Chains A and B, each alone.
Chain A
Amino acid sequence: QKEVEQDPGPLSVPEGAIVSLNCTYSNSAFQYFMWYRQYSRKGPELLMYTYSSGNKEDGRFTAQVDKSSKYISLFIRDSQPSDSATYLCAMKETSGSRLTFGEGTQLTVNP
């Protein structure tokens, strides 16, 4: 079983929809959680970085962490065609240098 599970999609939504992207994990030592956005033929770009359980908001993006359920989410409000990309969750233990990534979810926002 993978340490981090992420539905690969593809996910297709109309412009303006609220998008929910999710990851579950099994390693309770994960304490730092990241969401990266990756456009086609580009490197991942850091979107959100959280530590504690709860919500963190940045513009149209909200990251949610529930450590008790080992579940993280990224919500995108008022989705735009420019949000069409692959979204990767990543996690890290407190000590150490390594990240563990989900498989990525491919999102398409249709105009």
Chain B
Amino acid sequence: DGGITQSPKYLFRKEGQNVTLSCEQNLNHDAMYWYRQDPGQGLRLIYYSQIVNDFQKGDIAEGYSVSREKKESFPLTVTSAQKNPTAFYLCASRRQDYANQPQHFGDGTRLSIL
């Protein structure tokens, strides 16, 4: 089935540790996005990529890094510089060949601090 797969579903980070969240899509979508969701704050954009080997910072990129080496994959690394990483992380993707296609989401990764 086509879709967006995020893994793991739950992740725990120790102090000073970098962790990487996986996002894979088989929808042949060009653009991919990472959001952070906190209670009472909606979804905030971390990074997005519209094409392989290119990505842009969103509103809250500090303490995060991404790569886009393949069209299907857009992993997010939460670095030790991110002092408050506990949140629900959502990956999304969309087509760009037709104008203004909506974004579709994976089922998220919940990250907690140990």
Residue positions of A touching B, CB distance < 8 A: 6, 8, 32, 34, 36, 41-46, 49, 51, 88, 90, 92, 94, 97-99, 101-104
Query: B100 near A92 (CB under 8 angstroms)?
Result: yes
Report Cα–Cα, A88/B90, bound state, in Å. 14
Query: A43 near B108 (CB under 8 angstroms)?
Result: yes
Residues of A with C-beta under 8 A to B45: 98-99
Whether A43 touches B106, Cβ cut-off 8 Å, given contacts A97-B50, A103-B42, is yes
Total A-B Cβ pairs within 8 A? 52
Query: B102 near A46 (CB under 8 angstroms)?
Result: yes
Query: B41 near A103 (CB under 8 angstroms)?
Result: yes
Question: Nearest-CB distance from A48 to chain B (Å)?
Answer: 10
Report Cα–Cα, A54/B86, bound state, in Å. 40
Query: A45 near B48 (CB under 8 angstroms)?
Result: no
Most buried by A among B31, B33, B42, B106: B42
Whether A97 touches B48, Cβ cut-off 8 Å, given contacts A32-B100, A45-B105, A49-B102, is yes
Question: Nearest-CB distance from B75 to chain A (Å)?
Answer: 17
Most buried by A among B4, B43, B107: B43
Report Cα–Cα, A32/B58, bound state, in Å. 20
